[in-house]
Amino acid sequence: MIKSLLWLMPFCLFGFQSSLHAQDMELVDMEPVPLHLIEAASNQRQIIISGLDSLKTLSYCAPLYTAEDSLVFNRMRKIQQTIPLALNEEIKSYIDKYISRNYNPYMNKLKGLTEYYFPIYEKIFSENQLPEELKYLSVIESSLDPNLVSRAGAVGPWQFMYPTAKVYDLTMDSYIDERKDPYAACYAASRYFQDAYDEFNDWLLALASYNCGRGCVRRAIQRSGLQNPDFWQLAPYLPKETQNYIPKFIAMTYTLKHADDYGISAAATDFAWEARPIMVEKPINLQQVAQAVDLPLETIKKFNPAYKRTVVNASTESPKRLVLPHKGSLNDSLLYVVLNDQVGDRSNMLAIKDERASTSPSKRSSGSGERLVAVSRKATKRGAVYTTYTVKKGDTLSHIAARYKGATVAQIKTDNNLRSTRLKIGQKLRIKKSS
């Protein structure tokens, strides 16, 4: 239907112009139309035509009725990357909601959170050669809240259900719930997206399956009787929530991409410092980490939402990720001791008075007093050691690298003479574990 309208457009415009020309010949006594009105009408006409031209580049489109519709279409066409975008009445209604005055505080908060979470997601998706636009799905899933628990029991920024989290090797025990870890959960989501795209060969169907499950999409395809349908063809056979899921994703992608145009600005967040993720192989006390970086324990917990206790139960066999907020007043010596000694072992720590404690009470700042200052022995450098890893179903190089301190995708490829990131189940990989 749209293609037919596009084909007829030149003839309609020609007829419209001819009609106007005939009327101009007959109504020669009428006052001339002001030039600024003619220019405005011409500009509107060009916007609409430009919008119509962009329809053929989107996966789905509805008729354009206003210049604003055409503007949104044109912008949508320009921001479209790997995942196909679209515009219809439902998507427009979600855009209108997201850019409304009532939603502005919420969108400002989201914009602020994206400045912390999106660089994490972008790096992980890039490592796995996946579309960067997938990051917007986490906004729809959780509003970028790692502590969100849905009514159905889904947890974390990527809202993993327990069974699915186990399939994708997320750890959930009395010490940790990796569904709340933005890094671990995004690695798991990456593997899911790759599996779903490999099965359906359609990004919007892969995203739809993230909402309702791959089995649900398979059954919908069977009921439809269609061969290789896209999302818009299959939508009537999917649950209502999933039918709305993709329009929400597209609308949020568009709105955050054009946040400045709609007065959406980044609100302040709890992530005011640069985050430095490291892998630890010994039990770590978060209270002592907080002391070393001179920040409240609650701040450390916000950077490490997956841990249920103040102890990070790490070991050589099961290293854990610790995210450190980096600030100027960092006591490197104390932090070194915290990260390299067993919990409770303070044989090389001396409790001495801070310089501020020796001054008169009137000159001391609040909170001054005795502080632990590290007198640490010089670290003994250890050479790199190697271990052998057997590839399991669903493994990726980035997922494997995240398991080992100091390991990187590039290093694993070099050490194993790999030309690509493709792996085979049962394949043996040599992994370097640096000190």
List, for residues 2-13, the tens digit of each pLDDT value: 444 444 444 444
Question: What's the whole-number mean pLDDT along residues 80-102?
Answer: 96
Domain with CATH 3.10.350.10 in the chain: 385-433
Quote the CA–CA distance of 71 and 51 in Å, as a whole number: 7
Is the pLDDT assigned to residue 349 strictly greater than 50? no
Say what the pLDDT of residue 164 is: 96
Quote the CA–CA distance of 296 and 312 in Å, as a whole number: 17
pLDDT band at 351 (very low <50, low <70, confident <90, very high): very low
Residue 283's Cβ-count burial label (10 Å; 0-12, 13-18, 19+) is middle
CA angle 21, 27, 30 (to 5 degrees): 115
Domain with CATH 1.10.530.10 in the chain: 104-262
List, for residues 143-174, the tens digit of each pLDDT value: 999 999 999 999 999 999 999 999 999 999 99
Question: What's the whole-number mean pLDDT along residues 392-416?
Answer: 81
Is the pLDDT assigned to residue 120 strictly greater than 50? yes
Maximum distance among all Cα pairs of the chain, rounded to whole angstroms:
103
Say what the pLDDT of residue 55 is: 44
- CA 86, 159, 121, 230 torsion: positive or negative? negative
Q: Is 33 helix (H, G, I), strand (E, B) or coil?
A: coil
Here the tokens at position 295 are: 């920040």
> Structure pTM?
0.70
Quote the CA–CA distance of 61 and 225 in Å, as a whole number: 23
Say what the pLDDT of residue 304 is: 97
Say what the pLDDT of residue 367 is: 36
List, for residues 222-244, the tens digit of each pLDDT value: 999 999 999 999 999 999 999 99
Question: What's the whole-number mean pLDDT along residues 315-339?
Answer: 81
Match domain 385-433 to its CATH number in 3.30.43.10, 3.30.70.100, 3.10.350.10, 3.30.830.10.
3.10.350.10
**Which of the residue ranges 19-33, 87-101, 176-190, 371-385 would you say has the lowest mean pLDDT?**
371-385
CA atoms within 13 A on the CB side of 318: 12
Say what the pLDDT of residue 35 is: 75
pLDDT band at 50 (very low <50, low <70, confident <90, very high): low
Q: Which of 181, 122, 175 is nearest to 146 (CA)?
A: 181
pLDDT band at 19 (very low <50, low <70, confident <90, very high): very low
Match domain 104-262 to its CATH number in 3.90.1530.10, 1.10.530.10, 1.10.357.10, 3.30.590.20.
1.10.530.10
Is the pLDDT assigned to residue 80 strictly greater than 90? yes
Say what the pLDDT of residue 45 is: 66
Crossing angle (nearest 10°) for helices 240-257 and 135-142: 120
